[in-house]
Amino acid sequence: MTSIASNAHPDAPIGVFDSGVGGLSVLRHIRAQLPQEDLIYFADSAYAPYGDKTEQQVIDRSLAIAAYLLEQGAKALVVACNTATISAIKALRARYPELPIVGVEPGLKPAAAISRNGKIGVLATERTLRGDKLLALREQVSNATGATFVLQPCIGLADRIEQCALGNDPLDATSAMLERYIAPVLAQGVDTLVLGCTHYPFVQDAIERTVRAHTQETITLVDTGEAVARQLARLLDAAGLRRSSSSDAPRLQGYTTASVESLATAFAGLLDLQPPVAHVAV
Ligand code: DGL
């Protein structure tokens, strides 16, 4: 069994990964809440999207990326991808039992807590919505709160947003897809929409426009990026691994399994950052 406990150090970086640029929506919350930490962002763009892969394929990619990030000295791992969390977090925790690992899963619990009518739409990839972990979570929250969930697989949406972020696709194409997926969910009377994919917060404005075109009601959008960053801070504190603010200036490094230019463009366009980015074959 692999252990990191003996060599983990507060000055080591935190590894964050996603199938592509979606995890940058989580990275921005981590940077805001833990500004002193060194971060490594890994975009598995050569294998994106994860949403249409088998569960085993997503597990294999997640384990390979985690091993790479640990080789780079990561002291903690953030699975900044709902699809990878639902499919692979169990395997990651089994492989690295002592590593602080934080996943992102669709915010069904916070949605049930804020919904006024108990009807909630969940937008996510097909792989996420078919995962046992998600279905168990839905049952647990439904039993506890009486909330009902309309699960809407948004096939192709993460990919479209990725292309839009890279400037390859006009926002119009994304908006047409949002209309197709969101309209039927709103028609079922939901008052809350869970953004169950880390790509979706990057088109929050377009989602809000789509919603306004269909209803005057207030529809609350739920994104768990901020809660993930809070949980990461808690785990680092519990393990004594939080980097001190008096350490050197924090560093950010990007890695991608596809085009370096594309990830650099996404960093600049989505977060206004220009970190070094390197290509890796993992
Ligand atoms: N950003 C991802 C998620 O949160 C993955 C999307 C995909 O690769 O299909 O699910």
Q: What is the pLDDT of residue 173?
A: 84
Kindly report, residue by residue over 245-278, the tens digit of the pLDDT.
877 889 999 999 999 999 999 999 999 999 999 9
Report which ligand 1 atom has the smallest distance to the Cα of 53. 9
Tell whether 1 is covered by a domain: no
The residue ranges of the chain whose pLDDT is under 50 are 1-3, 5-6
Q: Do 230 and 202 belong to one domain?
A: no
Q: Do 162 and 213 belong to one domain?
A: yes
Q: What is the pLDDT of residue 136?
A: 97
Which of residues 186, 205, 222 is at a domain's end?
A: 222
Q: What is the pLDDT of residue 167?
A: 76
Ligand 1 centroid to residue 74 C-alpha, Å: 22
Kindly report, residue by residue over 183-226, the tens digit of the pLDDT.
999 999 999 999 999 999 999 999 999 999 999 999 999 999 99
Virtual torsion, Cα 118, 122, 128, 130, nearest 10 deg:
60
Q: Where is 120: in which H helix or E strand?
A: strand 119-124
CA distance 230 to 225: 9
Catalytic (active-site) positions: 81, 197
Q: Do 136 and 94 belong to one domain?
A: no
Mutating to test ligand 1, I would choose from 58, 197, 224 the residue with most ligand atoms within 8 A of its C-beta, which is 197
Mutating to test ligand 1, I would choose from 28, 78, 82 the residue with most ligand atoms within 8 A of its C-beta, which is 82
Tell whether 3 is covered by a domain: no
Which of residues 199, 222, 245 is at a domain's end?
A: 222
Q: Do 202 and 243 belong to one domain?
A: no
CATH code of the domain containing 257: 3.40.50.1860
CA distance 13 to 226: 19
Tell whether 166 is covered by a domain: yes
Give this prediction's pTM: 0.95
Cis ω before 35 (30° cut-off from 0) = no
Count of structural domains, the chain: 2
C-alpha 65 chain-centroid distance: 15
Residue linked to tokens 């977060």:
271
Report which ligand 1 atom has the smallest distance to the Cα of 198. 4
Q: What is the pLDDT of residue 116?
A: 97
Tell whether 9 is covered by a domain: no
Tell whether 133 is covered by a domain: yes
User: 250: domain range?
Assistant: 14-104+225-279
Ligand 1 centroid to residue 98 C-alpha, Å: 26
Ligand 1 centroid to residue 187 C-alpha, Å: 25
Report which ligand 1 atom has the smallest distance to the Cα of 19. 8
Sheet of 252-256: strand order equals: 101-103, 76-79, 14-18, 39-43, 252-256, 277-279
Which of residues 222, 245, 269 is at a domain's end?
A: 222
Q: Do 27 and 166 belong to one domain?
A: no
